[in-house]
Amino acid sequence: MADTHTNSVDERLRALFDPYARTGQPGMVVGVAHKGRILVRRGLGMASLEQSTANTPWTRMNLGSTAKHMTSIAVLLLAEQGKLDIDQPVRTWIPELQPDGPQPTLRQLMNHTSGLRCYLDLSFFCDGMSMKPVGYALAVQSRQRDRNFAPGDQMLYCNGGYFLLSLVVERAGGMPFRDFLRTHLFEPLGMHDTVQVGSDMELHEGMATLHVRQPDGGWQRGIFPTKEARGDGAVITTIDDMLRWLAHLRAPGRVGRPETWAQLSQRSRLNNGLELDYGLGLVRSDYRGVETIHHAGGIIGGSCQMLTVPAHELDIIIMTNGVPVDPSALANQVVDAVLGDAVLGPPRATRHAEAAQYAPLVGRRYHSPETGLLIGFGDADGKLGFSLVGNYLMPLAQADGRLHLGYAESGVGPFDVDVAPLPHGAAAPAELRVAECGQYARFTLLPDTAGPDAEAGLEGDYVSPDMAATMTIARADGALVMHVRDDYGRAQMDLTPLAPQVALWRVRSHVLPIPGALNIERDATGRVTGLRMDGARTRHVWFRRTGHA
């Protein structure tokens, strides 16, 4: 007799993935295993539109940041062997870093609480998509005298921290990072099609092309602008290898001790006691009453989600090469399809704040004199949306008399806004108390319209030692434009003054249109003496004025 449950699961999974089996667009590779049985092993869409090559179950794709926990387990294996201590200061292994102030530990690099700035973010600030040579990343990380925050005070996702971890693996392990992963992880686990790559410029057999959609509807090859990708996310692999990896992640035995692997998904805790779902390169969270362990990845022209439900031995890997899909949402749909309502609890009921209940906030921006952060509110399909330094709107939830934005929903924070529903006709509050990672700051309401004094004195030249870059603000076609340059290239930003103390900038790029806040320092006469760039993940980058205003 046929197993009707199995058949219905197979049908549900086919219904999920069949729409992506198209020849006119890039696609994905998908692997799903449940209790040792392979349910899905498919290549969908095109591996290369240029070569008219389809994705297959053997196609190799880039994991992006999903590979971060592979870097972490390499560090933990070295700790298991007694070659390092993850609570050692980073400068124990990388003395090139600046010695000023409290020093973050290796653990804090792994859970993104180090407070260090990120070389990638800084490069996007000043040279856009120019190709970075070998040695660039360490040089940038080593000259940073300021930081985002004191170690352990907050969490900000930091690719640069994982780059540094890969250097630690090399120095403690006595071999190149790529070789360490191969000999200590991939080969022992039978992952013969998996390799750490240094650049998207490398050619590897069977690897899919990364695709970026263009404004005119065409496609461009996706290439991440570095020749030195390392532990921050540069592993290419296949479905079969990742299903082997996931099975071992759930039940380790061939490499390292189980307690060593368990550290990857143990939740982290900030100095103020706030517990985070993020561990050492993996996220542990609840989905419909079952515990999941996962990590997403994003590169230029591709994305990924790896997820396992340990209690039900359900493993999922989805890697894409440009198809417009959210692999994290798709992985959750796979959990729904395989485990079903008989196992899963009801979908989490998030009580989102309705934009109509907070109408006076919609369209308004607030700025914190304490932190320099810029936030805004808007209508996100009827929900009240929250924007950080000019980024897209993220729906806010109502919880315990305040508004909340979780890390899982945004990749930043968590954020809490102390404000109750506002009656129709009420004025927007002149001030708000907003917490990032449990640390509250005061935010003041910005005017609806920037007055003429908002842009007064901004034009001119500036320099930043930490960025090793110069900035010029000039007027073009009646608007202010900001040019930031270093030795490798330049980034051009549109500049929108909001008030005398703050402006909004956005990089001119359809690939990475990064926004941020520009905090403006003025003396008692109103003269601009310096500027500070703040992004979502990198903060407090100072430029001082050069020459005369």
Give per-residue pLDDT as tens, 363-406: 999 999 889 999 999 999 999 999 999 999 999 999 888 999 98
Measured CA angle at 401 (ends 366, 345), to 5 deg: 115
Percent of the chain beyond pLDDT 70? 99
Neighbours of 138 (CB within 10 A): 18
Beta-bridge partner residues of 387: 376
Assess contact for 420 and 357: CB atoms under 8 A: no
Q: d(Cα 223, Cα 444) in Å, to the nearest integer? A: 40
Least confident of 111-115, 290-294, 506-510, 531-535: 506-510
Q: Which residues does 259 contact at the CB level (< 8 Å), separation at least 6?
A: none
Q: Which residues does 130 contact at the CB level (< 8 Å), separation at least 6?
A: 225, 488, 489
More confident residue, 225 or 530: 530
Choose among 521, 375, 361: nearest CA to 441. 375
Domain ranges of the chain: 61-115+150-343, 355-445, 452-546
Q: For residue 549, is pLDDT > 60?
A: no
- Region 165-192: what's the mean pLDDT? 98
Q: d(Cα 166, Cα 171) in Å, to the nearest integer? A: 9
- Region 162-170: what's the mean pLDDT? 98
Assess contact for 21 and 45: CB atoms under 8 A: yes
Instruction: From residue 476, give the alpha-carbon distance in Å to each of 163, 480, 495, 543, 546.
Output: 38, 6, 11, 21, 21
Beta-bridge partner residues of 294: 283, 307
Domains 61-115+150-343 and 355-445 share a fold: no
Q: For residue 2, is pLDDT > 50?
A: no
Q: d(Cα 366, Cα 400) in Å, to the nearest integer? A: 22
What's the pLDDT score for residue 11?
95
What's the pLDDT score for residue 400?
80
Assess contact for 78 and 62: CB atoms under 8 A: no
- Region 109-123: what's the mean pLDDT? 94
Q: For residue 258, is pLDDT > 90?
A: yes
- Region 286-294: what's the mean pLDDT? 96
Q: For residue 264, is pLDDT > 50?
A: yes
Helix %, strand %, coil % of the chain (to 5): 25, 30, 45
Domain 355-445 adopts which CATH fold?
Lipocalin (2.40.128)
Q: d(Cα 170, Cα 78) in Å, to the nearest integer? A: 10
Instruction: From residue 261, give the alpha-carbon distance in Å to each of 40, 90, 444.
Output: 26, 21, 45
What's the pLDDT score for residue 101?
84
Q: For residue 47, is pLDDT > 50?
A: yes
**Assigned token pair, 145:** 């005298």
Assess contact for 232 and 72: CB atoms under 8 A: no
Residue 227, helix vs strand vs coil: coil
- The whole-model pTM stands at 0.95
Write the single-letter amino acid at 521: E
What's the pLDDT score for residue 6?
62
Q: Chain-wide mean pLDDT for the chain?
A: 94
What's the pLDDT score for residue 1?
38
Choose among 152, 159, 371: nearest CA to 275. 152
**Interhelix angle for 327-343 vs 4-17, to 10°?**
160
Domain 61-115+150-343 adopts which CATH fold?
Beta-lactamase (3.40.710)
- Region 22-48: what's the mean pLDDT? 96
Q: For residue 127, is pLDDT > 80?
A: no
Least confident of 106-110, 449-453, 466-470, 541-545: 449-453
Measured CA angle at 262 (ends 259, 267), to 5 deg: 130
pLDDT per residue as tens digits for the range 296-336: 999 999 999 999 999 999 999 999 999 999 999 999 999 99
Q: Which CATH architecture has domain 452-546?
A: Beta Barrel (2.40)
Write the single-letter amino acid at 153: D
Residue 424 backbone phi and psi in degrees, to 5: -60, 135
Choose among 71, 77, 137: nearest CA to 110. 71
What's the pLDDT score for residue 136?
93
Beta-bridge partner residues of 371: none
Q: For residue 227, is pLDDT > 80?
A: yes
Helix (H) or strand (E) holding 296: strand 290-299
Measured CA angle at 267 (ends 340, 320), to 5 deg: 55
Neighbours of 15 (CB within 10 A): 11
What's the pLDDT score for residue 399?
82
